[in-house]
Chain A
Amino acid sequence: MEILGALTFLNTYTLAELEVGEHFLWKIGNFTVHGQVFLNSWIVIGLLVIASLAATRNIQKIPSGIQNFMEFVLEFIRDLVRNQIGEKEYRDWVPFIGTLFLFIFVSNWSGALVPWKLVELPSGELAAPTNDINTTVALALLTSLAYFYAGLKKKGLSYFKHYIEPTPVLLPIAILEDFTKPLSLSFRLFGNILADELVVAVLVLLVPLFIPLPVMALGLFTSAIQALVFATLAGAYIHEALVDHHD
């Protein structure tokens, strides 16, 4: 990274710089946290909350403006969750999966659209919260907890029977699945977003301004797709835990 960083002095005005693995660390007691991730996640959360409040401040029967837009968003989320979980039980899971989708989507796009480089931090840089492995693992673990909760709540301890059904031979694979699910969820999102930001950064570093634009557009596309994939898979996992094998 130092070699690439050294290249930037060729540009009279530094448009981009590569910094990977550098964090704006905060210390809380004995723990350290990545400050830039939290700063940016607060911006994302603020955006979501402000949009929600603006949409529901003055609810009309015939929607218009921001309410219309947020209803469109909600219907999109609702259809997504209903398609995954099914008509009977989807309502309880709309907030969780919907928030997953919205948070990841807005995070990804904030990383792709906003030139955070203009904000000076003591170290590290602002970027999408989802390009930090901590965020994605946190979301993936929450998804795991959610589907365990869903299964246990619906079936009690007999939920664990699905490990040995239809045959105990698959027990190791069934257990392995509980680890691969959060692992694949978190690494897929983390890898995609980080890779996208790195590609854009490298291209901007090499040929500033217009050449990276198609890649940026592609980045917007993959960002949206990744949010959709994460939410859809979360829904699918929860559905898998809810579904009755005895029917």
Chain B
Amino acid sequence: MFDFDATLPLMAVQFLLLTALLNAVFYKPLMKVLDEREDYLRSGDTGSKDKLAKAESIVKEYERQIAQARRESQDLIQKAQAEAKEITTTKIATAQQEVQSQREAATQEIEQQKAAAFATLEQQVDSLSRQILEKILDPELVK
């Protein structure tokens, strides 16, 4: 079982030859391919990373613009609302003033008419009381 002979050195030489042969036809070409593929993937990776960063910056820019537009529109709405409020308040104020003046005019008229009515009433009261007196007392006395 343990009989050493020339098989040993010959096998060693043969193995070294096999190593050299496989190095030429197997390890070198395939290692090259693997390295090239790794490089290719890495470069593709960085390229796509750049693109991704660019896309993200664009998205950020758009978001900024959207935010600005939203702020502007908000301002516009607020301004419009303030204007509308002002207009309504002024309109209400003028309307109120008008109403007030009309009411004053109406009250004045009423006062006047009241005064006139009282005056006529007083006249009538006078004449009526004279007639009453004339009827009750002697008309001669009344004069």
Q: Residues on A close to B: CB < 8 A? A: 20-21, 23, 28, 31-34, 37-38, 41, 45, 48-49, 52-53, 55-56, 59, 61, 63, 67, 70-71, 74-75, 78, 91, 94-96, 98-99, 102-103, 129, 132-135, 137-139, 141-142, 194
Contacts and interface: CB of A to CB of B under 8 A. Distances in A.
Contacts of B30: 55-56, 59, 67, 70-71, 74
Contacts of B23: 95, 99
Contact of A21 (B1, B15, B21): B1
Contact of A53 (B6, B7, B12, B25): B25
B27 to A, nearest CB: 5
Given A70-B30, A71-B34, A37 B7 contact: yes
A142 B16 contact: yes
Given A70-B30, A95-B23, A38 B7 contact: yes
Given A129-B11, A134-B7, 19 more contacts: A34-B7, A37-B7, A38-B7, A45-B18, A55-B30, A59-B29, A59-B30, A59-B33, A63-B33, A95-B23, A99-B15, A133-B2, A133-B3, A134-B5, A135-B11, A137-B8, A138-B7, A139-B11, A142-B16
Given A102-B22, A142-B15, A20 B1 contact: yes
A74 B34 contact: yes
Contacts of A31: 5-6
B139 to A, nearest CB: 144
Interface of B is mostly: helix
A52 B22 contact: yes
20 contacts: A21-B1, A21-B3, A33-B5, A33-B6, A38-B7, A48-B18, A49-B25, A52-B22, A56-B25, A59-B33, A61-B36, A71-B30, A71-B33, A78-B34, A99-B15, A99-B18, A133-B2, A134-B8, A138-B15, A194-B1
B143 to A, nearest CB: 144
Shortest Cβ-Cβ A-B pairs, 10 listed: A31-B6, A52-B26, A134-B7, A138-B12, A138-B11, A95-B23, A134-B8, A99-B19, A56-B29, A52-B25
A41 B11 contact: yes
A99 B20 CA distance: 9
Nearest to B20: A95
Nearest to A134: B7
B72 to A, nearest CB: 53
A4 B9 CA distance: 33
Nearest to A139: B15
B42 to A, nearest CB: 14
